């Protein structure tokens, strides 16, 4: 990419900004009512002129969002746990699989070590919060500087900073991130480029000047072009300036969605589905609190008798309120009706919110008397609920995440030059949710083995016990060190 492509970059960025504008008001409402602390410039506009927390009266949705995000973290990428593995692909010769499997196990252990030492668990949890709230989340996967304990550095990109663009089918092809940075920060990150802006390094407080920075990543075949650009900004930047450009083997921006409509780039979230109930529950709680305030303090009537001054009345214990002889003095105003129906409405609304956000179906087991069958059925229910989202996250998050991590470590020489193409090297996911699906396959296999054993006669000759044991070990994620190699027999 060269400077001549800047008009095309700005034109596509303008198109991406326009496409996102249709979603921004909906995102503001979702953040304001479900995750106000994560809005970063979006939630504040939902309650104009007030603090976003002052107009939030019901905490059902924020609590359910946090529970669902924590469930996704525990079921897909549990911290300090081996939730993935590498194994030979289907094109590898059977005689070479054992040798390649040992190499891949060592590479997977090294990748896992970098994940454990990085800030991945912290940032991916923030992304899951965005995913549940707005349906779209973006994780920035950068290479850490040499000398750091890990080669990976992650950042959960706020929705206010990221813009995406793609084809008519909703396939994401371009990412744009707009941030502000001081001149000194830009100098540190892009050494040797900032002097072209025309601001001297000795210009007093000019180093604290905040400038807008545009980062663009575009797909080009099997590679991704990168540009860091300073757009025109008054006297500081009179012409667009390219600070850096390069090519990535894998995109550093990983955008994943909860649910996607036909032709849509941005995803839809469960909070969007429950938003009418969330708004209604918030309003009902607000009215309940107002009614409670009236019930506690009351509304009072006073005769204008020339003696009683309502401005000087304080309704506190032990107070003496003067009144004229024969006047009614201060009398309470009776409320026109009771508000008991609000409890029924609010209970129903909260139940629907928790059901939509899966808080009542993915919660921890609280009944100690659950049988083994009930536990299995609960696992099957979890697989059914998260099956669709797990498939989408596997395609848009987990697989690109592994490909990017291998690309970084391969460039550093820490892992062999293998590519995650599915033919030579494939990913074997070992997360709790993936193991639930694997256990279903294992139950079917064990049922088949049990049935074959009951048949008797020559039926047992159709069972390869060594291959069966090897398949069970691989499906269950048994460490390869526990398996007996053929040469050890």
Question: Does residue 108 sit within a domain?
Answer: no
Average pLDDT over residues 285-302: 78
- Give the range of the structural domain holding residue 286, as residue numbers without chain letter: 275-356
Least confident of 275-289, 333-347, 392-406, 414-428: 333-347
Are the CB atoms for 418 and 410 separated by under 8 Å? yes
213-266 confidence digits (pLDDT tens): 999 999 988 899 999 999 988 777 788 888 889 999 899 999 999 998 888 899
Question: Does residue 2 sit within a domain?
Answer: no
* Ramachandran assignment for 457, one of left (phi > 0), alpha (psi -120 to 50 degrees), beta (any other): left
* Cα 166 to Cα 16: distance, rounded to the nearest angstrom: 9
In three-state secondary structure terms, 62 is helix
Question: Does residue 295 sit within a domain?
Answer: yes
Question: Does residue 280 sit within a domain?
Answer: yes
353-365 confidence digits (pLDDT tens): 999 998 877 655 5
Q: Which of 76, 150, 142, 144 is nearest to 118 (CA)?
A: 150
H or E, element range at 419 = none
pLDDT(466) > 50:
yes
DSSP letter assigned to residue 107: H
Model confidence band, residue 49 (pLDDT cutoffs 50, 70, 90): very low
Residue 158: per-residue pLDDT: 92
pLDDT(203) > 90:
no
Least confident of 15-19, 22-26, 98-102, 316-320: 316-320
Q: How far is CA 452 from CA 471, 472, 475, in A?
A: 18, 17, 21
Question: Does residue 189 sit within a domain?
Answer: no
Are the CB atoms for 429 and 393 separated by under 8 Å? no
- What is the pairing mode between strands 223-230 and 300-302? unpaired
pLDDT(46) > 50:
no
Question: Does residue 75 sit within a domain?
Answer: no
Are the CB atoms for 225 and 245 separated by under 8 Å? yes
| Residue indicated by tokens 């980062």 | 215
Question: Does residue 281 sit within a domain?
Answer: yes
Residue 21: per-residue pLDDT: 92
Least confident of 99-108, 201-210, 415-424: 201-210
Residue 207: per-residue pLDDT: 66
380-399 confidence digits (pLDDT tens): 676 777 777 888 898 899 99
Residue 2: per-residue pLDDT: 45
Cβ neighbours of residue 27 under 8 Å, at least 6 residues apart?
42, 134, 159
Q: Average pLDDT over the chain, rounded to whole?
A: 83
Distance of CA 357 to the CA centre of its chain: 14
* Cα 261 to Cα 223: distance, rounded to the nearest angstrom: 27
The structural domain count of the chain equals: 1
Question: Does residue 399 sit within a domain?
Answer: no
Q: Which residue has the higher pLDDT, 156 or 232?
A: 156
pLDDT(337) > 60:
no
Model confidence band, residue 47 (pLDDT cutoffs 50, 70, 90): very low
* Cα 84 to Cα 430: distance, rounded to the nearest angstrom: 5
């Amino acid at each position: 990419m060269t400077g001549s492509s800047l008009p095309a970059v700005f034109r596509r960025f303008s198109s991406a900004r326009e496409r996102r504008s249709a979603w921004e008001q909906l995102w503001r409402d979702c953040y304001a009512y479900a995750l106000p602390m994560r809005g970063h410039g979006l939630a504040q506009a939902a309650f104009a002129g007030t603090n976003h927390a002052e107009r939030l009266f019901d905490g059902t949705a924020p609590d359910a969002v946090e529970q669902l995000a924590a469930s996704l973290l525990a079921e897909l990428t549990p911290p300090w746990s081996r939730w993935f593995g590498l194994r030979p692909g289907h094109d590898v010769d059977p005689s070479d699989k054992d040798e390649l499997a040992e190499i891949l196990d060592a590479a997977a252990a090294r990748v896992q070590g970098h994940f454990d030492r990085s800030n991945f668990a912290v940032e991916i949890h923030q992304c899951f919060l965005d995913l549940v709230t707005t349906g779209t989340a973006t994780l920035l996967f950068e290479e850490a500087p040499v000398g750091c304990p890990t080669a990976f550095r992650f950042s959960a990109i706020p929705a206010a900073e990221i813009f995406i663009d793609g084809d008519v089918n909703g396939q994401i092809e371009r990412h744009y991130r707009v941030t502000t940075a001081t001149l000194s920060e830009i100098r540190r990150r892009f050494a040797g480029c900032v002097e072209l802006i025309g601001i001297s390094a000795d210009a007093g407080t000019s180093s604290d000047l905040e400038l807008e920075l545009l980062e663009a990543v575009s797909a080009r075949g099997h590679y991704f072009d990168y540009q860091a650009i300073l757009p025109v900004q008054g006297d500081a930047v009179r012409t667009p300036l390219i600070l850096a450009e390069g090519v990535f083997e894998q995109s550093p921006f990983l955008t994943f969605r909860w649910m996607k409509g036909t032709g849509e780039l941005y995803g839809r979230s469960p909070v969007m589905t429950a938003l009418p109930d969330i708004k209604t529950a918030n309003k009902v709680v607000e009215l309940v609190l107002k009614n409670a305030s009236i019930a506690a303090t009351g509304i009072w009537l006073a005769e204008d008798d020339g003696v009683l001054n309502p401005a000087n009345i304080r309704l506190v214990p032990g107070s003496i309120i003067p009144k004229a002889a024969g006047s009614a003095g201060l009398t309470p105003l009776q409320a026109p009706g009771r508000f008991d129906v609000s409890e029924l409405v609010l209970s129903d609304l909260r139940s629907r919110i928790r059901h939509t956000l899966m808080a009542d179906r993915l919660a921890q087991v609280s009944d100690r008397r659950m049988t083994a069958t009930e536990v299995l059925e609960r696992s099957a229910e979890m697989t059914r609920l998260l099956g669709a989202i797990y498939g989408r996250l596997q395609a848009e998050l987990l697989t690109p995440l592994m490909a990017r991590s291998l690309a970084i470590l391969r460039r550093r020489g820490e892992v062999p030059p293998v590519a995650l193409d599915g033919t030579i090297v494939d990913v074997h996911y070992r997360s709790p949710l993936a193991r639930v699906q694997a256990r279903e396959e294992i139950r079917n296999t064990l049922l088949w083995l049990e049935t074959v054993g009951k048949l008797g006669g020559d039926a047992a000759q159709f069972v390869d016990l060594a291959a069966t044991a090897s398949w069970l070990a691989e499906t269950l994620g048994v460490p390869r060190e526990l398996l007996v190699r053929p040469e050890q027999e």
